[in-house]
Amino acid sequence: MTNLLITQDLFDKARSNDLIKLKCVCCDCHFERMKKGIERYGGRYCSCECSDKSRIKRQQVKCLQCSTEFSKQLNQVKKSPNHFCSSSCAATYNNAHKTKGTRRSKLEVWLEAQLPLKYPDLVFHFNRKDAIDGELDIYIPSINLAFELNGIFHYEPIYGKDKLNQIRNNDTRKFQACIEKGIELCIIDTSKQAYFKEQTARKYLDIVTNIIDIKIG
């Protein structure tokens, strides 16, 4: 028994009720157990918790979003080929790769298709976090201009007051972060568009393009 803190010779000479000093092979803590208990049940672990942990095999994996390496239970590894170190990384990756059921509104997707056509010389960043460590719906780095398209969830407690407060706090943090980075953030209220129609969407496209035109002179 390699985790004995006494020699095997002393262990053999000990009486059945003597306490034997051991070292847990899971957490490395020192503990004591009667010799008869060690002989009957073993003495590798200081607790049931450590015993259970050791039964769960783990594997090193890499986060699909940020490439951070971390350990994951083997049974979880087998369930999915995609691994994320945090819920934030999972959300960022999934939102960027969804083909349906995406959080982005149809208006945002439509604007993403229209704006580069109208301004081929401008580089647009859509729904990226790299500028302020927070998602911006539309960001144009070359002119330090950003847009947030705020739908009904930013103004009405559709999912309750707590969720509304959370959204508003996030909006405030985002606005402050833009100020600190020297980014002009324009917030556009799109809550009146309950359903996407290209006819009504053009109103918001005109708002965005008018602001861009003023900015680029």
On average, the pLDDT of the chain sits at: 86
Q: Are residues 46 and 63 in the same domain?
A: no
Q: Are residues 73 and 93 in the same domain?
A: yes
> What is the residue whose two structure tokens read 């999912």?
159
Proportion of the chain above pLDDT 90, given as a percent: 47
Q: Band of the pLDDT at 202, cuts 50, 70, 90?
A: very high
Beta strand 136-140 with 184-189: parallel, antiparallel or unpaired? Answer: unpaired
pLDDT of 115 over the 50 cut: yes
Q: Are residues 84 and 111 in the same domain?
A: no
Higher pLDDT pick, 148 / 66: 148
Task: Take residue 167 and report the two structure tokens written for it.
Answer: 């959204």
DSSP string, 128-169: E-TTTTS-EEEEEGGGTEEEEEE-GGGTS-TT-HHHHHHHHH
Q: Are residues 142 and 198 in the same domain?
A: yes
Domain boundary among 73, 98, 123: 98
φ, ψ (nearest 5 deg) of residue 185? -105, 120
Q: Band of the pLDDT at 3, cuts 50, 70, 90?
A: confident
CATH number, domain with residue 126: 3.40.960.10
pLDDT of 149 over the 50 cut: yes
The Cα-based distances of 26 to 30, 39, 52, 149 in angstroms read 11, 19, 10, 51
Could you give the 3-state DSSP secondary structure of residue 103? coil
The identity of residue 42, as a single letter, is: G
Number of folded domains that form the chain: 3
Q: Are residues 94 and 119 in the same domain?
A: no
Q: Are residues 184 and 125 in the same domain?
A: yes
Q: Are residues 48 and 67 in the same domain?
A: no
Q: Are residues 76 and 128 in the same domain?
A: no
Residue 102 is predicted with a pLDDT of 46
Arithmetic mean of pLDDT, 85-90: 73
Q: Are residues 87 and 47 in the same domain?
A: no
Residue 2 is predicted with a pLDDT of 60
Arithmetic mean of pLDDT, 133-160: 93
Q: Are residues 144 and 127 in the same domain?
A: yes
pLDDT of 75 over the 70 cut: no
State the number of CA atoms in the 13 A half-sphere of 158 facing the CB: 7
Residue 52 is predicted with a pLDDT of 76
pLDDT of 15 over the 80 cut: yes
Q: Are residues 117 and 199 in the same domain?
A: yes
Range of the domain at 112: 106-216
Q: Are residues 117 and 47 in the same domain?
A: no
List CB contacts of 131: < 8 A, sequence separation 6 or more. 125, 139, 141, 146, 181, 183
